[in-house]
Structure 1
């Protein structure tokens, strides 16, 4: 079960990590077997399924994305807590976004689903 204290700490550290553009700090939140799904993956990584498997593949995608958007900055708007997941609702350079992050027993993210407003 995700408690409020863990969720709040994770959310603020996640936002700060992205805003620092420190890829190692960002990736520290994720398990090695991490799976990421996002419509942006198809555009930037060229993966038509929109899903990448493994921290290495996702890290390469995020490095490319950070290079394309050097002034990337996220602003946390809301945090929603589930059983073994949280949803981060935030403002990004593309507009409003939400990421649903599922955690493993070690409190590392094992699956993430990104959603964007049109």
Structure 2
């Protein structure tokens, strides 16, 4: 994965969420996936914190968009690895977040690990 590909993925991912466009959001994910997030538990979507089907992921993101109607992400940085990228951004309620995406050969996320800061401190306040 090149830096340009990682940045394009991140920019399009952030834009899709900020537009609350569920179809565009889901275009970033493979049909078979593992998606881990503390918000899966917080939103009481399931008790494992893991989603393994794109259909469930669509339902989960729908719940999230309804729960946070003012959702807006702010991109801070993108880190690139081997078939992976990390998106570092400000998430809901000003909470810092980073997501690790492992992409398949089609450039779709097949494993995602979501992380959230313990406090809501934004990078501008450090």
Are residue 28 (structure 1) and residue 54 (structure 2) matched? Answer: no
Aligned residues: 117
Computed over aligned residues only, the root mean square deviation of the Cα atoms, in angstroms, reads 0.9
**CA distances 1:58-87 after superposition (whole Å, capped 9, x unpaired):** 110110010010010000001100101000
| Structure 2 gap ranges (5+) | 119-126
Q: Per the alignment, in what secondary structure is the counterpart of residue 5 of structure 1?
A: helix
TM-score (norm 2): 0.89
CA distance in structure 1 between the partners assigned to 2:111 and 2:85 by the alignment: 11
Measured in 2, the distance between the counterparts of 1:6 and 1:117 equals 26
* Structure 1 residues 6-51: Cα deviation after superposition (integer angstroms, max 9, x where no partner): 1111110110000000000000011111221001101214312100
Runs of 4+ in 1 over 6 A off after TM superposition: none
The residue matched to 2:112 in structure 1 has which SS?
Answer: strand
| TM-score with structure 1 setting the length | 0.95
